[in-house]
Copies of this chain bind each other. A is one copy, B any other.
Amino acid sequence: MGASIPMQKDYIYIYHNFGTLIWPSCSNPFACLVLHYREGIEYDSQNPLRVFNVHPFMMFFGFIFLIGLAILSHQTVPGSHETRKIIHLTLHFIAIILGIVGLCAVFKFYDMVNWEDVTSLHSWIGIGTFCLVGLQWLMGLGFMLQGSAQSRSTMAPWHVAAGRALFFMAICAALTGLMEKYTMIKLVTHHRESHLINFTGLAILLFGVFVDMSVGLPRYA
């Protein structure tokens, strides 16, 4: 394919679109859902629903959003390659910590209501993705600290491909989680709340597609 390589401003353009358009359209319906319809958020509450809400909040604002930013940071942060790598690594580290808090919250919720843990497709995809993200982070750190320039450049395409696949899996985990919630509350809920869930899901999907494209497009040319 003989296309010319898209210029830097193309990524900036995609990034700005994502920042100004997609992120509020994810976060606003999500905030409405949790705060208006679903009791609010508190980790140390006696109300299981308030404990549960820590889970989607941490996974969505912490894990998915920060990992999206970490992926974009390689294209958008000014400065040296080293600076970008450190920002990429640090954002992932914060995302993983917030993800751990989110996972603890959902296990605590399941304990409080005496349900069986880790039975649904959502939980299988979510936990699988979380473990693989942790592994990928450790391998990235190992190569950054120990690897030779030769081994780093051999690993780079695999690291990028695996990272994109894991981000894709994280989006799938989020959507299956929203779908589970939607189906469970379908019979007793406001019509407006179910629309909010759908809009949140579509916005998360769009966020995933934009992040993926901003990494992918410059490499296709």
Contacts and interface: CB of A to CB of B under 8 A. Distances in A.
A7 interface: no
B160 A124 contact: no
A31 to B, nearest CB: 18
Interface residues of A, number: 49
B121 A165 contact: no
A208 interface: yes
A17 interface: no
A205 interface: yes
Chain A binding surface SS class? helix
Interface in A100-138: 119-122, 124-125, 128
A6 B155 CA distance: 12
Interface stretch (A32-40, A55-63, A88-96, A176-184): A176-184
Contact of A208 (B4, B6, B161, B168): B168
Contact of A217 (B2, B161, B186, B202): B161
Interface string A194-206: 1001100110010
B180 A216 contact: no
Contacts of A6: 157
A169 interface: yes
19 contacts: A4-B154, A120-B194, A121-B182, A121-B197, A125-B175, A128-B202, A156-B220, A157-B221, A158-B217, A165-B209, A165-B213, A169-B205, A171-B172, A172-B172, A176-B178, A180-B183, A183-B183, A183-B184, A216-B216
